[in-house]
């Protein structure tokens, strides 16, 4: 319990301490955002805001998670989770560098992203499958049942990983939005890990997940100091991919990937809105939303960014309460 709280506090303080040094450095290096012309006038003034602020969160959650992980499983459970989180973050960092340095707002080509994501997700899925602390069985929400997926677990986990990482990335479009939603999700996921640990379920995995979740939540809370409206820095893909990686690895390690649909409802709706919009334009040549993803639809309707953040965070908190009720411990 204390290790969870220390992870939260130290990750929070670490990001707070890094901000005054890292943000001016990013400005001096001209790592500023290159905003595409989406039709949102409010976003045009954000051009030049430093991106890659996510490296602060990655450093904080990565180091803190390793330090406060249980000594007996630090290198066999926590280290792989942190390394896969780092891998996705490095992919995002490459995307950020292309956007900021080469001034190409689209960043990496889609095929480049998916190839790297397939490799990383394949490695992460195999780690979970072969790990004696995790394995191929998953919990079914609202029941006491477990489903051993066998070898099907690997493609299933790969799909979940890629879907979650890209969904969290899509949510990063409004000041403070991704950080706020992820703070709530990781706090509650850490609480679920604590309940499972106290119930004697998957002790090795849950003790590590508790630390990873609270370290990630603390890093997000520290980052919000600089990322709330009007943002002084953006997390960039290096941050959103890291948060997505940490969230999905923690969920898989808990053997609770199906809870992602409940807890991460705003991630899911964000991705669905994008898929629906693209499909409608290609098939019907008509838009369903004013603009996708969903938070931009609200922006185009005149909803202030701060209200969007509050609304998304509230819905996430309610969804996480439902996820807690789904546990059969």
Domain assignment present for residue 11? The answer is yes
For residue 203, what are the CA distances in angstroms to 76, 81, 181, 216, 260? 14, 16, 27, 20, 21
The answer to whether residue 299 is domain-embedded is: no
Comparing 42 with 81, the larger pLDDT belongs to: 81
pLDDT(203) > 90:
no
- Residues 66-85: tens digit of each pLDDT: 999 999 999 999 999 999 99
Q: Can you read off the two tokens belonging to residue 254?
A: 């808990």
| Local confidence band at 31 (pLDDT 50, 70, 90 cut-offs) | confident
Both tokens of 176, joined, read 């403070």
Q: Show the domain range for 107.
A: 2-34+43-258
In a domain, 275, yes or no: no
- Beta bridge mates, 32: 50
Whether 153 and 125 have beta carbons less than 8 Å apart is answered as yes
Structure confidence at residue 48 (pLDDT): 75
Distance (Å, whole) CA 279 – CA 244:
24
The answer as to whether 78 is a domain residue is: yes
In a domain, 90, yes or no: yes
How many structural domains is the chain composed of?
1
Average the pLDDT over 8-28 and give the result: 95
Q: 305-325 and 265-284 are packed helices; what angle lies between their axes, rounded to 10 degrees?
A: 120
**Would you place residue 23 in the very low, low, confident or very high pLDDT band (cuts 50, 70, 90)?**
very high
CA distance 202 to 317: 25
Angle between helices 177-198 and 153-171 (to 10 degrees): 140
Which of 34 and 208 is assigned the larger pLDDT? 208
Q: pTM of the predicted model, to two decimals?
A: 0.95
Residue 325 lies in a domain: no
| pLDDT score recorded for residue 40 | 64
Tell the residue number behind the tokens 């319990």, with chain if given: 1
Question: Within a domain: residue 293?
Answer: no
Domain-located, residue 277: no
Radius of gyration of the chain (CA): 19
155-191, pLDDT tens digit by residue? 999 999 999 999 999 999 899 999 999 999 999 999 9
């Amino acid at each position: 319990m204390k290790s969870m709280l220390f992870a939260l506090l130290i990750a929070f303080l670490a990001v707070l301490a890094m901000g005054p040094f890292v943000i001016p450095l990013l400005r001096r290096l001209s790592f500023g955002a290159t905003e595409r012309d989406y039709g949102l006038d409010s976003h045009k003034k954000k051009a030049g805001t430093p991106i890659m602020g996510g490296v602060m969160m990655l450093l904080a959650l990565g180091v803190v998670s390793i330090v406060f992980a249980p000594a007996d499983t630090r290198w066999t459970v926590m280290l792989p989770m942190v390394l896969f989180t780092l891998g996705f973050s490095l992919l995002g960092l490459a995307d950020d560098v292309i956007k900021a340095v080469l001034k190409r707002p689209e960043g990496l080509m889609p095929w480049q992203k998916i190839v790297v994501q397939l490799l990383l997700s394949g490695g992460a899925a195999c780690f979970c499958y072969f790990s004696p602390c995790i394995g191929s069985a998953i919990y079914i929400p609202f029941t006491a049942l477990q489903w051993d997926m066998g070898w099907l677990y690997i493609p299933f986990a790969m799909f979940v990983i890629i879907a979650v990482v890209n969904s969290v990335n899509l949510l990063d479009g409004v000041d403070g939005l991704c950080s706020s939603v992820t703070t709530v999700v990781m706090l509650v996921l850490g609480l679920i890990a604590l309940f499972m640990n106290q119930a004697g379920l998957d002790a090795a995995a849950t003790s590590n997940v508790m630390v990873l979740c609270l370290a990630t939540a603390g890093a997000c809370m520290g980052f919000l100091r600089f990322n709330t409206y009007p943002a002084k820095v953006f997390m960039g893909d290096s941050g959103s991919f890291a948060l997505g990686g940490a969230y999905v690895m923690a969920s898989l390690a808990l053997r609770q990937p199906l809870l992602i649909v409940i807890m991460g409802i705003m991630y899911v709706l964000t991705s669905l809105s994008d898929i629906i919009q693209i499909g409608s334009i290609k098939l019907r040549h008509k838009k369903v939303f004013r603009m996708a993803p969903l938070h931009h639809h609200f922006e185009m309707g005149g909803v202030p960014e701060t209200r969007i953040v509050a609304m998304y965070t509230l819905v996430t908190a309610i969804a996480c309460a439902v996820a807690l009720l789904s546990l059969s411990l």
